Amino acid sequence: MVLTRLFFVLSTAVLLFGCASQSKTADQLRDNVKRNVTFSSREVFEVKKPYRQVSDTLRKKWLECLDSTATGSIHRGGNTFGTLTNIYKPKVAVTDRRTELTLQHKQTGAGVTQLGGPPPEGFFIIVTDVYPADKNTSRVDVQKHMPGYAGVMKAIRNWAEGTSMACPDLAQ
Amino acid sequence: MRRRTRRGPTLPKPVWLLLFGGILAGCSGLPAYESDLPANLNVRTRLSSPSVLLTAPLAGSFDAYLHLTAVDRRCQKNYRGSVKLGGTVVSVGIPADQPSYLVFEFSGRSLLTRGSASSTYATLLTPRSGHQYDVDVAYADEMYSITVYERNPRSGLRREVERRPFSACKPN
């Protein structure tokens, strides 16, 4: 019982710390990355492929691989277990000049409260912008506001470069 | 001197742990998918555990499952059962000319951490009669790929079937 209480106290502390500046829009995420807030990072790279080709591949894989639900159970001490469900919502907006790929994240579970008033489909955790750098080169700008997700970052680069079309396991 | 009272049969803790591990490894608790239809869905799986904690020597497990759900004309789902995917090709029969919702799940459990995690990948498939559907499922390095091919047994022609989200289902 003591461990259960401790778990809830720690969980709440983590949630409070984490939600202080969680991104509710794609622009807010970009702004948070620009201000270098905690748990934000950015990766920009270019690929020698036309914009349309990179945009098409990333759009397809983004919607295919990141439309996912990951469930985990954790031991809270004694015979008490908690279940956490992470729901991911990928979205894409394409124009001739830019492809915007966003990933939203929502967490549910017994005793789990996402503070900070998350949007209905969750906080924005990754925003990827693809631009034409020149006729045969595309620039990919990946901005993240959440710890972890190295697998997603690796997958985006793989998809853009065409080295692998595998999906990242969002439960890992 | 306090007298010890016997409260029923007791087993040493390691035996309980082994029994618990056996239950985790052997009984997923999912209803098995059963169908009298001729097999038209053939799933070949290659799995590599993402963590040493999810391997048998450390009392863990890492498995893949396919959950099959029938979808009617109103796009209502009716869960029909699940199959565990393994080393050999798993073949099942699903109704032709009507959509089925296939959910692939990667699931890991660790007895040491007493935790579990799973993630899913789903696609809507409407098999054509007289065709076979071959699915390649691969998981390695926290990345997975699921590729569905449609094969015409008469002509031998094979083509890749794109993933369709459930939202692609339109009531008629």
Dist. CA A53–CA A136, nearest whole Å: 10
Structure tokens at A122: 């969750």
Q: Which residues of A touch B (CB under 8 A)?
A: 63-65, 67-75, 81, 151, 154-155, 164-172
Task: Classify A46 in phi/psi space as left (phi over 0), alpha (psi -120 to 50) or beta.
Answer: beta
Q: What is the DSSP string of A37-98?
A: -TTEEEEEEEESS-HHHHHHHHHHHHHHHSS-EEEEEEEEETTEEEEEEEEEEEEEEE-SS-
- Average the pLDDT over each of A17-21, B108-112, B119-123 and give the range with the smallest value: A17-21
Residue B117 near chain A (CB below 8 Å): yes
Dist. CA B79–CA B30, nearest whole Å: 11
Residue of B143, B145, B164, B167 to mutate, interface with A, max A Cβ within 10 Å? B143
Looking at every residue in chain B, the average pLDDT score rounds to 84
3-state secondary structure of A18: helix
How many A×B Cβ pairs under 8 Å? 64
Closest CB from B113, B118, B138 relative to A70: B118
Residue B20 near chain A (CB below 8 Å): no
Does the interface ipTM go beyond 0.85? no
Closest chain B residue to A77 measured between Cα atoms? B114
Query: Which pTM value belongs to this model?
Result: 0.80
On the question of pLDDT at A172 being above 80, the answer is no
Distance (Å) from the C-alpha of residue A1 to the closest C-alpha of chain B? 17
Write the pLDDT tens digit of every residue in B30-63: 899 999 999 999 999 999 887 777 787 777 889 9
Cβ contact, residue pair A68, B50, below 8 Å: no
Pairing of β B132-140 and β B41-47: parallel
Closest CB from B51, B118, B144 relative to A166: B144
Cβ contact, residue pair B115, A72, below 8 Å: yes
Write the pLDDT tens digit of every residue in A88-103: 999 999 999 999 999 9
Cβ contact, residue pair A73, B165, below 8 Å: no
Per-residue CA distances from A165 to A62, A80, A154, B115 (Å): 11, 39, 11, 29
3-state secondary structure of A172: coil
Cβ contact, residue pair A172, B117, below 8 Å: yes
On the question of pLDDT at B168 being above 70, the answer is yes
Task: Classify A163 in phi/psi space as left (phi over 0), alpha (psi -120 to 50) or beta.
Answer: alpha
Dist. CA B33–CA B39, nearest whole Å: 12
Residues 136-165 of B with CB under 8 A from A: 138-139, 142-146, 163, 165
Structure tokens at A73: 């159970």
3-state secondary structure of B18: helix
DSSP assignment, residue B55? S
pLDDT attached to residue B24: 41
Distance (Å) from the C-alpha of residue A77 to the closest C-alpha of chain B? 10
Residues of chain B in contact with residue A81, where contact means CB-CB under 8 angstroms, are: 114
Dist. CA A169–CA B12, nearest whole Å: 37
pLDDT attached to residue B26: 44
pLDDT attached to residue B55: 80
Distance (Å) from the C-alpha of residue A79 to the closest C-alpha of chain B? 10
CB A68 within 8 A of CB B121: yes
Closest chain A residue to B111 measured between Cα atoms? A75
Write the pLDDT tens digit of every residue in B19-29: 444 444 345 67
Dist. CA A69–CA A81, nearest whole Å: 19
Reference B65, options B112, B22, B122, B114; nearest CA is: B122
Q: What is the 3-state secondary structure (H, E, C) of A130-155?
A: EEEEECCEEEEEEEEECCCCHHHHHH
Closest chain B residue to A84 measured between Cα atoms? B117
Beta bridge partners of B83: B66
Count CB-CB contacts under 10 A for residue A23. 27
